[in-house]
Amino acid sequence: MQLRLSAEDLAFRDEVRAFIAKALPDDLRDKVLIEQRLGRADLARWHRILDDQGWAAPAWPVEWGGTGWSGLRLNIFREEIAAAFAPEPLVQNINLAGPLIANFGNDAQKAFFLPATRRLDIWFSQGFSEPGAGSDLASMRTRARLEGDHYTVDGQKIWSTDAHISDWMFCLVRTSQEDRPHKGLTFLLIDMKTPGITVRPIPTIDGDHYLNEVFFDAVKVPAANLLGEEGRGWEYARSLLVHERIGIARTGQTRRRLVRARHLAEQIEAQGDAMAARDFRLRIAALEVELRALEMTALRAIQADGAAGPDPSVLKLKGTELQQASTELLVELGGPAAMVRQTAWLLGEREHSLTPVDTAAATATYFQLRAASIYGGSNEIQRNILARKLLAN
């Protein structure tokens, strides 16, 4: 992002770069370089490195491990993480569960969950979508009945990322059918080891497993695990979705892919196909212009401190479209090499023409990001939100 940074902000950027260069383990960087999905041990190692520096959860309240950085510095930090091929902190923990508990949890919940969430001693999954309720969360039917000192939960969640390896789920359930559908939703924190929970894998088109169905059959959840107030889940979820949609834009990751695309276009030109290289460069330049505009929108949204204006929906809509366009471009540039999956020999081929490192897993990533325009509220829903907020008289 090209901004006129103050001397202090430039010094901060240099501090972040120096820290990452020194602290990021080579093996983690190499895995991110080829877009390999990191396991729990890898991510936990990086979380703890960041937490020891005080940077694992920079946007959280200071008393729970946040940094107090300005919106600009948060943006600088996130872009430097992406540019350095450092792992992105676990979204469910840092962007979703942590802010939810910090803003609406009681003191006991904060003390128990937040330090462990920062360091990835606890791994969270999200329980929002259901077979009949995706972008329309008001239609959800998973029920929770208060029975003495516990809630009894029955129902099903779907598309729950990492539920098969998670320790806890922050789960939106229906506790009332009265009044408007949005009014009867409540957040519960559910221990995934509780009897009555069944997790079934959903294989994805990229050949991986990170999505799951989760079934609740008379699951007993202590009433102490109620997050905030009963019936205010929709209000809390809306606050959370603003931050999720800002994060889904992932401008740093898209810029990283466009840098790769430029390198590949140079390789094509060096092989003598100047016409094809020119066409690719024009497409790359067009995407870079759109990305620059989106980066400015992201900064504006961050500085608005989560205000529910149009920016989060713009970021989600355009950000996911650019992710899809950039991965499609890499697949075209890579040709057959884009089908190469992560194998031991990949990391030794960096000087090779059309290097596997530049194209490794490009097709798998392309397939995986087909879902980006659906999760976090489908892009069709975002267009409806924008129409209401920008076009209504």
Give the type of residue at 204. T
- 344: exposed, middle or buried (Cβ count in 10 Å: 0-12, 13-18, 19+): exposed
Which amino acid belongs to residue 271? Q
Q: Residues with Cβ < 8 Å from 272, sequence gap 6 or more? A: none
Cα-Cα-Cα-Cα dihedral sign, residues 61, 66, 67, 71: negative
CA dihedral sign of residues 152, 377, 295, 125: positive
Identity of the amino acid at 145: R
The residues carrying an active-site annotation are 244
Q: Pseudo-torsion of CA 303, 295, 78, 264, nearest 10°?
A: 180
* Cα–Cα dist 198/218, whole Å: 11
Q: Work out whether strand 226-227 and strand 185-191 pair parallel, antiparallel, or are unpaired.
A: antiparallel
Whole-angstrom CA distances from 327 to 62, 107, 256, 297, 360 are 37, 43, 11, 22, 11
Pick the closest to residue 36 from 75, 85, 102, 89 (CA basis). Answer: 85
d(CA 300, CA 253): 19
User: Beta strand pairing status for 168-174 and 185-191?
Assistant: antiparallel
Beta-bridged to residue 252, according to DSSP, are: none
Which of 97, 74, 73, 294 minimizes the C-alpha distance to 187? 97
137: which residues sit within 8 A by CB, 6+ positions away?
A: 128, 129, 172, 185, 234, 237
Q: In this structure, which amino acid lies at residue 270?
A: A
Which of 243, 220, 240 shows the shortest CA–CA distance to 228?
Answer: 240
